[in-house]
């Protein structure tokens, strides 16, 4: 599927605090914890627990959420399909949409029981 400017804008204007409980509910149904969710979000965005909670309390949009984030340098290792979109094929002009899908991919893997060390991607040593 192709991302459109309208779809990108719709996601940009969604309130993170309304989506976070949906992520958490899905994970808890699959035996995962809020701490694990926050660990994945911190790896991806650099937000510690207090910063994440402040953003939730402020009811920031996904646009603001990702503007404030320090995206992990290994984010390019997040590949695959989520919600019908192949992450690595999302155009650069839709960076926010891509970041949202990347985060959802990490959460998806957590829900499916993938090991945390596999979710929190690291470059393989080239030695």
Give me the mean pLDDT over the 89-110 stretch. Answer: 96
Give the span between the Cα atoms of 99 and 114, in whole angstroms: 20
- What pLDDT is stored for residue 38 in this prediction? 98
Average pLDDT, the chain: 95
Give me the mean pLDDT over the 52-68 stretch. Answer: 98
Task: Give CA separation, 45 vs 30, 38, 51, 66, 80, in Å.
Answer: 23, 10, 11, 8, 19
Asked if residue 124 has pLDDT above 90, the reply is no
Spatial CB neighbours of 57, under 8 Å, sequence gap ≥ 6: 17
Give the span between the Cα atoms of 74 and 78, in whole angstroms: 8
Asked if residue 66 has pLDDT above 80, the reply is yes
- At 126, is the pLDDT very low, low, confident or very high (cuts 50, 70, 90)? low
């Amino acid at each position: 599927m192709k991302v459109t400017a309208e779809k990108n804008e719709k996601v940009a204007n969604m309130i993170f605090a309304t989506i976070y409980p949906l992520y958490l509910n899905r994970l808890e149904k699959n035996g995962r914890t809020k701490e694990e969710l926050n660990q994945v979000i911190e790896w991806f965005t650099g937000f510690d627990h207090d910063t994440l909670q402040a953003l939730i309390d402020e009811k920031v949009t996904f646009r603001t959420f990702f503007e404030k984030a320090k995206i992990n340098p290994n984010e390019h290792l997040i590949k695959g399909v989520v919600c019908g979109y192949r992450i690595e094929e999302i155009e650069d002009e839709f960076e926010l949409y891509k970041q949202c899908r990347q985060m959802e991919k990490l959460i998806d893997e957590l829900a499916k029981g993938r090991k945390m060390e596999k979710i929190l991607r690291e470059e393989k040593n080239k030695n």
